[in-house]
Amino acid sequence: MGGFASVGSVGGAIVHALRLTFGMTWEITWALILGFSLSAIVQSVVSKGQMSGLLPDDRPRTLAVACGLGAASSSCSYAAIALARSIFRKGADFTASMAFEIASTNLVIELGVILALLIGWQFTVAEFVGGPIMVVLLALAFRAFLRPRLLEMARHQAEKGLRGSMEGHATMDMSVAGGSIWSRITSPQGFTAISHSFVMEWAAILRDVVIGLLIAGAIAAWVPNSFWQGFFLIHHPLLAKLWGPLVGPLVSMSSFVCSIGNVPLAAVLWNGGISFGGVIAFIFADLIILPILNIYRKYYGAKMSLFLLGTFYATMVAAGYIVELLFGVLHLVPTGPRHAKVIEASVHLNYTTVLDVIFLALALMLLVRFLRTGGREMLKMMDAPMEEGHGHDSHHG
């Protein structure tokens, strides 16, 4: 009978984890669709074609442009690092390329929406404040420690064009040219471009979102808060603030989840006691998870991949500390009981259900448009290797 009880308890634990996963999924579905829709609209009027020419150096103005272009680009970490290498090969400054990469995954609309919904609006503000801070710190670190020889070795390695991941998606330009922004968005070509960007973003990010939700559900169900409370030193407030940003990126690296997929786990960690700055450092660390470090090795060589690991980690931690201090002074760090939305499956007739139905209908409409306008062929090219001068250009004239 003990064996049967054990099987039953294991089955109950799995069901509990899946219910938590579904609960979080149901809570954020409409927000994900809204975020990706807004991102697709931006991508339909912003061309990737001239990016390298806009990023010739590491001056403050150029880095600001890089952040703006990144925020308007793909939120998929793999696509972001592939596009960063592409524009670096075409002549963009390396520091500006890395700033673009950081913004592509940390300053995008959909990330802010999901953060606000699952954890709180303070985290959205902190993310959009901390991202530029990290870019500035990284630029200073590169100026101080990046040697010309290492940069030349990285450029030589980049020219080899070794394959990473999502490179076809990174080179696809689905923007519409000509006319006002409104006319481009509302035209038939604009509708097609928006549908293509929307579905391609989902195809690029879906794996990470699903894995992130499953991991978050499993950890929330199986790992007691008492473990996290001890791990994050919540009974020592000052040490907890120092420890959180240091360990947050390490937890992120071990989860293997990048992009928006790590936000549900951030919600679990926040409920478990990680510091405010630790959450921000954790979310930034999607760019140094182990699979992406391996792609850096292919793109830029082993020495540069280790350099990026060290500088990215250091600036993530520093940005987490600065955000913690700044938001603490402004009294914007949430206090009291922590109630990030890690909830059991529950579907009722409320605003979440109404919004989910509305936005799922919008997603279906965009999917139908995508399939009717050559979308299947584009999906096949998503992970195809990039060829210089032969990008998958889907620019709509």
Residue 8 burial (CB count, 10 A): 10
Q: What is the pLDDT of residue 389?
A: 40
The pTM of the full predicted model, rounded to 2 decimals, is 0.78
Q: Within 13 Å of residue 233, how many CA atoms lie on the same side as its CB?
A: 15
3-state secondary structure of 250: helix
Show the tokens assigned to 162: 């070794």
Q: What is the pLDDT of residue 333?
A: 93
Q: What would the mean pLDDT of 259-278 be, rounded to a whole number?
A: 88
E strand or H helix that includes residue 190 = helix 188-222
Q: What would the mean pLDDT of 362-385 be, rounded to a whole number?
A: 81
Burial classification of residue 38, based on how many CB atoms lie within 10 Å of its CB (0-12 exposed, 13-18 middle, 19 or more buried): middle
Q: What is the pLDDT of residue 48?
A: 58
Residue 95's closest CA among 71, 74, 122, 65? Answer: 65
**What amino acid is encoded at 192 in this protein?**
T
Show the tokens assigned to 108: 């995008």
Residues 359/34, Cβ–Cβ less than 8 Å? yes
3-state secondary structure of 384: coil
3-state secondary structure of 266: helix
3-state secondary structure of 391: coil
Please, which pLDDT band fits residue 52 given cuts at 50, 70 and 90?
Answer: low
In terms of pLDDT, which residue wins out, 87 or 12?
A: 87
Q: What is the pLDDT of residue 392?
A: 42
Q: What is the pLDDT of residue 385?
A: 54
| Domain segments of the chain as ranges | 20-165+178-380
Q: What is the pLDDT of residue 390?
A: 41
Q: What is the pLDDT of residue 221?
A: 81
Residues 141/311, Cβ–Cβ less than 8 Å? yes
Residue 52 burial (CB count, 10 A): 18
Q: What is the pLDDT of residue 54?
A: 80
Distances in Å between the Cα of 87 and the Cα atoms of 101, 171, 210 are: 11, 10, 30
Distances in Å between the Cα of 368 and the Cα atoms of 190, 195, 273 are: 15, 8, 43
Q: What is the pLDDT of residue 66?
A: 92
Show the tokens assigned to 25: 């999924």
Q: Per-residue pLDDT for 93 more than 90?
A: yes
pLDDT tens digits along 209-236 = 788 778 878 887 888 888 989 999 999 9
How many whole angstroms separate alpha carbon 190 and alpha carbon 186? 6
- Which of 24-33, 202-211, 271-280 is most confident? 271-280
Q: Per-residue pLDDT for 388 more than 60?
A: no
Q: What is the pLDDT of residue 274?
A: 94
- Measure the CA angle with vertex 56, ends 289 and 137; round to 5°: 45
pLDDT tens digits along 105-148 = 888 888 888 898 889 999 999 999 999 999 999 999 999 999 99
Please report which residue ranges of 46-106 form alpha helices under DSSP H. 51-54, 60-71, 77-89, 94-106
Q: What would the mean pLDDT of 74-89 be, rounded to a whole number?
A: 79
Q: What would the mean pLDDT of 283-309 be, rounded to a whole number?
A: 92
